[in-house]
A and B are shown apart, each in its own frame.
Chain A
């Protein structure tokens, strides 16, 4: 089976812009979670989607949002970008309650 894929892999944006990142889970996995990874804060949970519904949400401002489509693919959107949003954004998919498998991430740089 193909692994979790994310597009784009790299992105450079300017403060104030918005960005949309995409994640395609492993075939058959219906849950997709998003994480932000930074050197200072480590890996932090953003939100989880299952069957097109947001099931959990982390402690991030409302500028961070997401959605999931009927084919389980997911997107996350960040509006009004700030310098501090520069990070590696990882998505992870799972089939059961347990094992989560990560994609390669999207490296977002905000200038």
Chain B
């Protein structure tokens, strides 16, 4: 089955800096890669996703890149703000056979003033 690895497990950046979180996946048939943000005590929130037919997607300060050949994808947050502090999870799925999400282990992002 699919295995998703995520790095780093913790990340501390200063406000205004950029943050990058990286994930790799094992199943070459995976075609959908969402990112979720989970604040303490809250539900995971879908913040951006990418499908395998595109290499990059951007939404304001957030962007995701996908390299299908290397089987890795990354989340980029620019101009970080304190409210970006949370745990971020990447996930992968093969929507052709099953839509279950296989999650990475999470990255705790702390944005300091």
Interface residues of A (CB under 8 A from B): 4, 31, 33, 35, 42-45, 48, 55-56, 58, 90, 92, 94, 97-105
> Chain A's interface: helix, strand, loop or mixed, by majority?
strand
Interface residues of B (CB under 8 A from A): 32, 34, 36, 42-46, 49, 51, 89, 91, 95, 98-106
| CB-nearest residue of chain B to A59 | B1
Complex CA–CA separation, A29 to B29 (angstroms): 25
Of A42, A58, A92, A97, which one neighbours B95 at CB under 8 angstroms?
A97
Q: Which residues of B contact A42 (CB under 8 A)?
A: 89, 103-106
| CB-nearest residue of chain A to B95 | A97
3 closest residue pairs by CB, A with B:
A43-B103, A97-B95, A45-B100
Given contact pairs A55-B98, A101-B46, a sample of 14 additional A-B residue pairs in the complex whose CB atoms are under 8 Å apart: A31-B99, A33-B100, A44-B103, A48-B98, A48-B100, A58-B100, A92-B101, A98-B34, A98-B95, A99-B34, A100-B46, A100-B101, A102-B46, A103-B43
